[in-house]
Amino acid sequence: MSWLKSPHPGNRPQVFAVVLLAIVLAGCATLKQCAYEGFDRDQWQQPERVIQSLQIRPGAVVADLGSGSGYFALRLAKAVGTTGKVYAVDIDSAINKALKERAKKEHVGNIDVLLAKPNDPRLPEPVDLIFTSNTYHHIDDRISYFAGLREYLRPSGKIAVIDYDRRAWLEGLLRHYTPKEFIKREMEQAGYKLQNDFDFLERQSFLVFVPRSDPSQSGALAPAGGTSK
Ligand SMILES: C[S@@+](CC[C@H](N)C(=O)[O-])C[C@H]1O[C@@H](n2cnc3c(N)ncnc32)[C@H](O)[C@@H]1O
């Protein structure tokens, strides 16, 4: 490939890096999609197995909290089928716009993209499942936030939390992770009990929680956001 031959041999690594970056970006609609999804994510993320583990029935209503570029939201939309619905919720209006366009392009009609507040997902109705992937560590004041999510769950609703743990070296360096034991403890304090602890992901924990019948017993706090909903 002669176009890769820089007249200055010392520059070849940089030329190669630019070409590589262009190839990578060509596969992503936005820079953030690239950052969140990379190229080999399916291999370590096992999205089909994750969704299968959640036993989502057709017609279910699911919220993807911190949906980003839609990696899971689009797959969840497939799982709930045309009679179900996915609320893709994020605080980033630019990524929401990109996801709306992506869903339109891929003819996925059962996703509603919503702009959340940092302390409130502002869901328009209670849902069967609140799913959140790689977002838990971004949320402030989590015990209060997740205590507040109880009002967005249907009576048999549950919350699935996937987040990087210390096995993810890059996210570890960037402090973009939450140790599994922290998540368990905080969710317990927010009024939930652990239903499943799936251990098949190589760099993330994958925990499922259901509301406890008496959240006050472990000192759960008042709903997040207070009057702001
Ligand atoms: C690392 S991305 C993960 C995206 C997607 N869940 C995935 O697995 O590819 C984290 C996303 O969470 C969003 N986010 C951060 N804090 C949030 C909050 N309080 N409520 C809703 N979304 C939030 C960010 O804007 C970002 O799009």
Q: 159-213 pLDDT, tens per residue?
A: 999 999 987 777 776 778 899 999 999 999 999 999 999 999 999 999 999 999 9
The pTM assigned to this predicted structure is 0.83
Q: 116-138 pLDDT, tens per residue?
A: 999 999 999 999 999 999 999 99
Is the predicted pLDDT of residue 45 greater than 50, yes or no?
Answer: yes
Better-scored residue on pLDDT, 66 or 217: 66
Report CA Rg, the chain: 20
Q: What is the DSSP letter of 196?
A: E
Q: Is the CB of 88 under 6 A from ligand 1?
A: no
Average pLDDT of the chain to the nearest whole number: 85
Q: 12 φ, ψ to 5°?
A: -60, -40
At the topology level of CATH, where does 40-228 sit? Rossmann fold (3.40.50)
How far apart are the C-alpha atoms of 122 and 132, rounded to whole Å? 15
* Domain coordinates in residue numbering, the chain: 1-30, 40-228
At residue 157, the 3 state secondary structure works out as strand
With beta carbons less than 8 A apart as the criterion, state whether 173 and 186 touch: no
* Residue nearest to ligand 1 atom 10, measured at CA: 135
Q: Is the CB of 71 under 6 A from ligand 1?
A: yes
- Probe residue for ligand 1, chosen from 34, 37, 91 as the CB with the greatest number of ligand atoms within 8 Å: 91
Better-scored residue on pLDDT, 177 or 157: 157
Q: Is the CB of 138 under 6 A from ligand 1?
A: yes
How far apart are the C-alpha atoms of 117 and 226, rounded to whole Å? 13
